[in-house]
Amino acid sequence: MVDLADLWGVGDMESNQRYYRRRAVEERMAAQRAVTEQARAWHAKLAEDFARRATVCDTGITASA
């Protein structure tokens, strides 16, 4: 019998918290590489937003545990 979780790749899904942390790091790196100040500011803002979301996810996990 085939396990549907394996078939759909459900076991490989990353958590929201891990996604937001990864994206925050990626946006910080993009801000460092940005050529213009406008691009640097935009990537920095996105990094802050993703970091905040990761913190909210972490707080939610801690509160429910």
Write down the pLDDT at residue 3.
Answer: 61
Q: What is the per-residue pLDDT across 6-55, written as a single tens digit (0 to 9) for each? A: 555 556 778 999 999 999 999 999 999 999 999 999 999 999 999 999 99
Comparing 24 with 65, the larger pLDDT belongs to 24
What CA–CA distances, in Å, run from 20 to 3, 17, 24, 47?
29, 5, 6, 9
Identify the band that residue 58 occupies on the pLDDT scale cut at 50, 70 and 90.
Answer: confident
Comparing 41 with 59, the larger pLDDT belongs to 41
Please give the full DSSP string across 18-65, using - where no structure is assigned. HHHHHHHHHHHHHHHH-SSHHHHHHHHHHHHHHHHHHHHHHHHHHHH-
Other beta carbons less than 10 A from residue 22's beta carbon: 13
Write down the pLDDT at residue 30.
Answer: 98
